[in-house]
Amino acid sequence: MSTIADNIALVGARIRAAAQASQRDVNSIHLLAVSKTKPAAALREAYAAGVRDFGENYLQEALGKQLELTDLPLCWHFIGPIQSNKTRPIAEHFDWVHSVDRLKIAQRLSEQRPEHLPPLNICIQVNVSGEASKSGCTPADLPALASAISALPRLQLRGLMAIPEPTEDRAVQDAAFAAVQALNSSLQQRLNLPLDTLSMGMSHDLEAAIAQGATWVRIGTALFGARDYGQP
Ligand SMILES: *Cc1c(COP(=O)(O)O)cnc(C)c1O
């Protein structure tokens, strides 16, 4: 059986190969280890193999693991759907939120971000797959949302996040990620915002995402194995 360290090495090799194929600097691409449903011991193993950034989808589960791992200098990213009554603990216990798709959530995160912490890093989740996806703001709503979020004092708008409809068709993957990159650069230009982040690419499509400019790839299964939702 392969260990988490083996898997990290394999994913690292995929990232390097993809960076090379598109003549990108590999240091501009960061690995976010998506650890939802996995125990704290698995995160410890990943930490020992060099991983520092972890992505979690479920608040209670994430807070429990954070308590078990206070001895490690980890960077925590919230990547799941956000209910408005859960914004306070997210503002208090995370460094990044990748899944903001409406202004109300952003306003609450800004109001609730503790003064002693730096501004919370934010990505706006955008839906580039139409009706196939339930979450994410529409490309049409994106400029107004980005403009409003960029004015909030305790948030730092960093860029966009997307979860395109899953497909093994590389051309379809490329088209979806290219659309995200195009939206990000048009926002940068139209609103004059310093957006340096594209959070896109998962275990099955990280190569296409890197080819289209991903700066964070969010990898779960390829690092930690399949998830068992029966025993959260
Ligand atoms: C679960 C999840 C991932 C990781 O997906 P894998 O296919 O297991 O790599 C990435 N991003 C988000 C938002 C997720 O919910």
User: Shortest CA distance to 123 belongs to which of 147, 157, 150?
Assistant: 157
Residue 132 in tokens: 């196939």
Q: How far apart are CA 44 and CA 82, in angstroms?
A: 26
Tens digits of per-residue pLDDT, 164-207? 999 999 999 999 999 999 999 999 999 999 999 999 999 999 99
Q: Is the pLDDT of residue 229 over 90?
A: no
What is the chain's Cα-based Rg? 17
Q: How far apart are CA 146 and CA 144, in angstroms?
A: 6
Q: How far apart are CA 177 and CA 12, in angstroms?
A: 20
Residue nearest to atom 10 of ligand 1 (CA): 218
Residue 116 in tokens: 């002693």
Q: Is 163 in the pocket of ligand 1 (CB under 6 A)?
A: yes
Percent of the chain with pLDDT over 70: 98
Q: Is the pLDDT of residue 132 over 90?
A: no
Percent of the chain with pLDDT over 90: 94
Pocket test for ligand 1, best of 218, 224, 227 (most atoms within 8 A of CB): 218
- 132's enclosing H/E stretch is none
pTM attached to this predicted model: 0.97
State the greatest distance between any 2 C-alpha atoms of the chain, in Å, as a whole number. 50
Q: Quick one: pLDDT at residue 228?
A: 84
Amino acid letter, 132 = A
Residue nearest to atom 6 of ligand 1 (CA): 220
Q: Is the pLDDT of residue 133 over 80?
A: no
Write the CB contacts of 63 (distance below 8 Å, at least 6 apart in sequence): 89, 93
Query: Average pLDDT of the chain?
Result: 96
CATH code reported for the domain at 4-224:
3.20.20.10
Domain spans in the chain, listed from the N-terminal domain onward: 4-224
Handedness of CA 132, 232, 8, 157 (dihedral sign): positive
Tens digits of per-residue pLDDT, 21-65? 999 999 999 999 999 999 999 999 999 999 999 999 999 999 999
Q: Quick one: pLDDT at residue 231?
A: 53
Q: Is 202 in the pocket of ligand 1 (CB under 6 A)?
A: yes
Give the confidence band of 131 by pLDDT, cuts at 50, 70, 90. confident
Q: What is the DSSP string of 190-207?
A: HH-----EEE---TTTHH
User: Shortest CA distance to 57 belongs to which of 207, 214, 229?
Assistant: 229
Q: How far apart are CA 174 and CA 1, in angstroms?
A: 32
Amino acid letter, 25 = D
- 80's enclosing H/E stretch is none
Please state the atom number of ligand 1 nearest to the C-alpha of residue 227. 8
Residue 74 in tokens: 């980890």
